[in-house]
Amino acid sequence: MIPTYSPAIVYIDLNGSNEPKINFWYPSELSEDVRTLIGIKCSSIISDDISFIPEVLLVFPLPSLKSKMLVKYFDRHTANQEIPSRSALIFVFSEENDVIFYRYMSYIDSYFGDTIEKIKELETNKNDKQTIFTEIVKLKDTLIESTEYLYSKSQFLLKSQDSKDSPTDLDCKVDPQSKYKVVILGDPSVGKTSSILRFTDNVFLRAYIPTMGLNITQKRFQINNSSLELVLWDIGGQHKFETIRKQFYEGASAYVLLFDLTNAKSFAKIPKWQEDILSYLGNKSEITGYLIGNKIDLIKDRIVSVRDGIRLANAMDVEYFESSALTGHNIEFYFKKISNDLLQ
């Protein structure tokens, strides 16, 4: 069984500067406050560019609800509109299940795509709204059934992958003072999300799914007889999200600057990423930084040398590591190092 939670689905229209219009929600008892929150979140993601429609299925946190939401944007035409409307289907779920959706993102995305095509077809044929809403409820039911199946499958996989030396202890109690926020920064596609998933769930994300804004992942574990929780903030690297990105820096205990060893441009941008976070935090000396060169497994494609990495780290006064989210090399090691430093 998956953790007890009542998922919800919402269908909204996003029309420029106008407030989001909530077309449909299920279950019907979903509160107005929650519906409004979802509408505002979805609108803010794409509000700066009226032509911007993310092609991928997005994951966004709803911290006040201890939940997350899957958001799929799409264009649709209605009979009275010359310009297509931007719409979104949103599935709200317990944050405990976020790894399931990361792991099977393309699988889940296909369900959204099928439903969106049905919505467009029904609207083109001028079917009544109730017929359209029935299709949306079917999507919710399908997602719940799929989550239950994938969760049970993943539980088996997790148990088979756990090693005797694993530091993970989800039931360990953590003092509030031992919870640390770690911000992960870097250009798109360098492996931020994959590195986090490798550490938190021993999973490698084989498809590149850009973080559109923010993903938050927690991991509790014990190290040197001390319990702690790392709250990893995976912040989207796209320039489009520069404005909202900076508000996520507040309260960080440490930051990780991650680049791709096969991508010289991602390496050259690292100083700007450090400047971005330190300028916002006021160059606080207590904030510890780490430089990570990812994709060490791509030996033949490597461009950035170890020497160059160390030189840059020394110049920025941060520690340097190299890793592979694909193989897991050094991932747990450097997160343990960060944890040890935070506990001291």
Within this chain, do residues 182 and 328 fall inside the same structural domain, yes or no?
yes
pLDDT value of position 50: 56
pLDDT value of position 158: 44
pLDDT value of position 94: 84
Within this chain, do residues 186 and 281 fall inside the same structural domain, yes or no?
yes
Instruction: For residue 236, tell me if it sits in a domain.
Output: yes
Q: Which residues pair with 86 in a beta bridge?
A: 14, 75
Q: Which residues pair with 322 in a beta bridge?
A: 293
Instruction: For residue 170, tell me if it sits in a domain.
Output: no
Mean pLDDT, to the nearest integer, of 153-160? 46
Return left, alpha or beta for 213; rule: phi > 0 is left, psi -120 to 50 is alpha, else beta: left
Instruction: For residue 266, tell me if it sits in a domain.
Output: yes
What is the rounded distance in angstroms from the CA atom of residue 336 to the CA atom of residue 290?
Answer: 12
Token couple for 135: 């299709």
Instruction: For residue 227, tell me if it sits in a domain.
Output: yes
Instruction: For residue 2, tell me if it sits in a domain.
Output: no
Residue 30, Cβ density class (10 Å: 0-12 exposed, 13-18 middle, ≥19 buried): middle
Within this chain, do residues 114 and 248 fall inside the same structural domain, yes or no?
no
Q: Which residues pair with 24 in a beta bridge?
A: 11
Within this chain, do residues 198 and 324 fall inside the same structural domain, yes or no?
yes
Q: Report helix angle 129-161 to 105-124, nearest 10.
A: 170
- Distances, alpha carbon 64 to alpha carbons 38, 67, 70, 94, 137, in Å: 12, 8, 16, 12, 25
Residue predicted with more confidence, 18 or 16: 18
CATH number of the domain within which 331 lies = 3.40.50.300
pLDDT-derived band at 283, boundaries 50, 70, 90: low
Within this chain, do residues 181 and 315 fall inside the same structural domain, yes or no?
yes
Lowest mean pLDDT among 12-16, 150-154, 264-268: 150-154
Within this chain, do residues 215 and 143 fall inside the same structural domain, yes or no?
no
Is residue 2's pLDDT more than 90? no
Number of domains making up the chain: 2
Is residue 25's pLDDT more than 90? yes
Instruction: For residue 166, tell me if it sits in a domain.
Output: no
Within this chain, do residues 193 and 254 fall inside the same structural domain, yes or no?
yes
Question: How many helices (H) and strands (E) are present in the chain, helices listed first?
Answer: 10, 11
According to the per-residue pLDDT averaged within each range, which of 83-87, 178-182, 195-199, 336-340 is highest? 336-340
Within this chain, do residues 129 and 192 fall inside the same structural domain, yes or no?
no
Mean pLDDT, to the nearest integer, of 222-245? 72
pLDDT value of position 132: 93
Total count of residues recorded for the chain: 344
> For residue 110, what are the domain limits?
8-161
Within this chain, do residues 271 and 132 fall inside the same structural domain, yes or no?
no
- Domain boundary residue, one of 135, 161, 187: 161
What whole-number percentage of the chain has pLDDT above 70?
75
pLDDT-derived band at 279, boundaries 50, 70, 90: confident
What is the rounded distance in angstroms from the CA atom of residue 242 to the CA atom of residue 248?
Answer: 11
Is residue 37's pLDDT more than 70? yes
Within this chain, do residues 130 and 180 fall inside the same structural domain, yes or no?
no
Within this chain, do residues 250 and 312 fall inside the same structural domain, yes or no?
yes
pLDDT value of position 95: 76
Instruction: For residue 168, tell me if it sits in a domain.
Output: no
Residue predicted with more confidence, 20 or 5: 20
- Domain boundary residue, one of 130, 161, 192: 161
DSSP-based three-state secondary structure for 237 = coil
Instruction: For residue 171, tell me if it sits in a domain.
Output: no
pLDDT value of position 167: 44
Strands (E), the chain: 8-14, 21-26, 58-62, 67-76, 85-94, 179-185, 214-223, 226-235, 254-260, 288-294, 319-322
Within this chain, do residues 120 and 197 fall inside the same structural domain, yes or no?
no
Please, what is the average pLDDT of the chain? 80
Each residue of 123-152: b (16+ CB within 10 Å) or e?
A: beeeeeeeebbebbeebbeebbebbeebbe
Maximum alpha-carbon separation in the chain: 65
Residue 56, Cβ density class (10 Å: 0-12 exposed, 13-18 middle, ≥19 buried): middle
